[in-house]
Structures are given as C-alpha cells and as structure tokens.
Amino acid sequence: MQETWRWFGPNDGVTLAEARQAGATGIVTALHDIPYGAVWTEDAIRERQAAIGADPALELRWSVAESLPVHESIKIGEGDLEPLFETYRTSIRNLAACGVTTICYNFMPVLDWARTELHHRLANGGRALRFNAHEWAAFDVLMLERPGAEADYQPVVMERARAWFAASRPSDRDALLATVMAGLPGAFDRYDIVGLRGMLDRYRDVTPERLRQTLKRFLEAVIPTAEAVGLRMAIHPDDPPRPLLGLPRIVSSADDLAFITEAVDSPSNGITLCSGSLGSSVDNDVVGIARRFASRIHFAHLRNVRVEPDGSFMEADHLDGDTDMVALVEALLAEQGRRKAAGDPRWRLPMRPDHGHELLGDIGRTGHFPGYSATGRLKGLAELRGVMRAISRLRDLPL
C-alpha cells in the first residue's frame, strides 16, 4: 500500500519533511481556505502541489484530496442544488486535470468526527482522543438543551452526565464546546450553542431515509463526472457510527455501505475504509466489511479504538484495539494483489495512519491538529509498515 500522511497545509505544525521522515511518500490534503460550495480552481490546486513538491529531495506528491466538502444544503436537500452540484463537478474535473484522482469525502450532518477529550492522559504519559458518553450527554441534554434528547441515553449515562454538569465550571463547558467543534479542522463554521441549535433546526425534518435519498441524489449528480475523468470517490464512514444530537447518520454499517455502492453502481463510487470509525460500533465486523467491499475500497484510514459498555471509546495503539489490524491489513493486501493481477494500473491502495497518540515531543507542542501529532503517527505508520512487510513475505502479496 502507498504510505500517505495527512497534512493540513502551510498552517500545519507538522512539516512535510517530518512526514517524509516518517516514511510517507504521498500527501493527503485539502484546500481548507476555500469555503464550502466554492470551486477548487486549477490554480489553487497547483499552488498546493507546488508547496508539496517544493523540496524535490523529499519526493512527495499529493495523493488524495481529503476532504472536498459537501455543502450542508446538499445534505438537507434544500433549494436549487444544481449550482452546487456543478461546482463540485468542476472541482472534480480540476483535481483530475492536475493528477489528483482520489477524493475522500463524508456525508455527516453538521459535525465531522466527535470527541469529548482531545488530550486524555494515558498510563504511559501519552495523550489520546477520547469520547466520554456521559460528557456528550451533558453537552446534548444540559448545555444544548435539545428537546427530547434525554431519551437517547441510558439512565446510568444521564446520572453521570448530571454529576459532571453539576461539578463543572463555565470554563469546563466552554472547553467541551470547543472540543466538539475541533472535529471540524477545515470548516469555516464554528458554532456557539445558539448557532448549533440553529443548524439542528435546519435538519428537523431530515429523517435517515431522506438523508439517504439526498446522498443518492448527490452521487447521481457527481459520479458520472468522476468516472468520465478517471477519478475515484471514497466516502468516509460516520465517526462515531451512531446518531448524534438527533441527527441521522447513514454511513455507519455494512448495510449503509451496500446502499451507497448500489445507489450508483460505478467503480468510481467507492469507500474510505476507516477502521476506527467503523470500529467504534461493536455491531461492525471491520475485517468482514473490508472483505465484503474490497473492490470498492479506494483509500484506507488505519487506526484502532477500544469501546466501553456505555458507548464511550478511546483511540488505542494502532495494533492494540478492538479491530484485528493484522487480519485487516491482510484483507487489504489481498485486494491489492487481485487488482495487480487484473492489470489495474492503480492497483496500489493509498493508506494513512490515523489519529495517533501524542507521544514524546508531541506533548506540549503547538500547531498540530487534534489526533494528527508527528511522533504518534510515525509510531503507528511504522507498526503498520511492519505488519504489511510480514504479511507480504508470508503470503507473497505485493506491497
């Protein structure tokens, strides 16, 4: 697999040289300065490519666009969407013209990934991202005051939520809101409580079935263009794969992925296999999902989580969570081998280590985005590389 590294552009505190030192050859990035619903121009794309290739000795290239955002109006299905569809199609054409031929995107309403702690202290002194079910319930029920929200949580979770809220200070609640918003690293919208209520109100009539249909409409509008220019679209699963704040989530299970891949049956309509997102639900067999949808996986985020009985979860070491990472890597390498044998010129699957712990010099270092530390991801990539090399040797599979 091609080893890649997410880079948030010139404002990222982790440098391209550090990405290369970690062993990556591909860069995963996006034009975060361009508002949602605006065109990614060829000039802007080439400017980012020039920044990635500024030091030829690093031999880095832009491998995957993550993410080309989907405008909220498309998800809601409100207004005349054709101009937004055409903007997205134009960006697809421009990326393909510049040689970037894989797009990772998501269809999560309002929020991207959701956590309640960004620097949870580990026993070894490192730091990790964590989702505490009771803190999320406190945010939803007691801070946001969403009508009917309490029914979404177990009584034991609500008991802990009320205890947390009673003991919290205004600064604790502000920090929790900031943490919830941190899941939108490239977004222009950062909501306060009032603003978030307004966004939720826009979704008040959006059921899971309606959201599925707006996704299908989006796919029907853009996949033919992607196929025509040889570009692969790879939808990212919901993180976590469950309804949040009363919002439907429709990329959470094997059934959801089946609906998506069948909605527009094209090799350009594919999946980002994020083992941590899917693995945050005990109902998902991540390795089984990888095997079932292998031919439609166009990108892989390899990370691991440990899930707790109340629905809380935490980022684990890459090889030490609930997902059998060795079996998962074996499934992905087997699919690579199939593609190579079939003569696919793009048989090598891009992957990246996702959501590394903060370790060593990461701790206290400023400038990196939550989950995207330097040393933690280097460690994860090194571990995954070792697994790939061993499986490749034992199974005679191409790297």
Q: Where are the beta strands (DSSP E) in the chain?
A: 2-6, 26-29, 61-66, 102-105, 117-121, 127-131, 232-235, 269-274, 297-302, 304-307, 313-316, 350-353
The CA distance from 74 to 193, in Å, is 23
The pLDDT-based confidence of 186 (bands split at 50, 70, 90) is low
Residues marked as catalytic: 236, 274, 301, 354-355, 372
The CA distance from 294 to 266, in Å, is 14
Q: What's the whole-model pTM score? A: 0.95
Percent of the chain with pLDDT over 70: 98
The CA distance from 200 to 247, in Å, is 8
Write out pLDDT tens, residues 6-59. Answer: 999 999 999 999 999 999 999 999 999 999 999 999 999 999 999 999 999 999
The CA distance from 173 to 254, in Å, is 36
Inter-CA distances, 360 with 12, 126, 378, Å: 18, 7, 11
Assigned superfamily of 2-113+207-395: Divalent-metal-dependent TIM barrel enzymes (3.20.20.150)
The CA distance from 180 to 135, in Å, is 11
The CA distance from 39 to 120, in Å, is 38
Question: Which sequence spans correspond to the domains of the chain?
Answer: 2-113+207-395, 117-200
How high is the mean pLDDT of the chain?
A: 96
Write out pLDDT tens, residues 337-393. Answer: 999 999 999 999 999 999 999 999 999 888 889 999 999 999 999 999 999 999 999
The answer on pLDDT for 164 being more than 70 is yes
What mean pLDDT do residues 226-248 have?
97
Residue 64's Cβ-count burial label (10 Å; 0-12, 13-18, 19+) is buried
What mean pLDDT do residues 152-160 have?
97
Residue 368: the pLDDT is 87
Name 228's Cβ contacts closer than 8 Å, sequence gap at least 6: none
Strands in 127-131's sheet, in edge-to-edge order, are: 117-121, 127-131, 313-316, 304-307
What mean pLDDT do residues 307-311 have?
97
The answer on pLDDT for 84 being more than 90 is yes
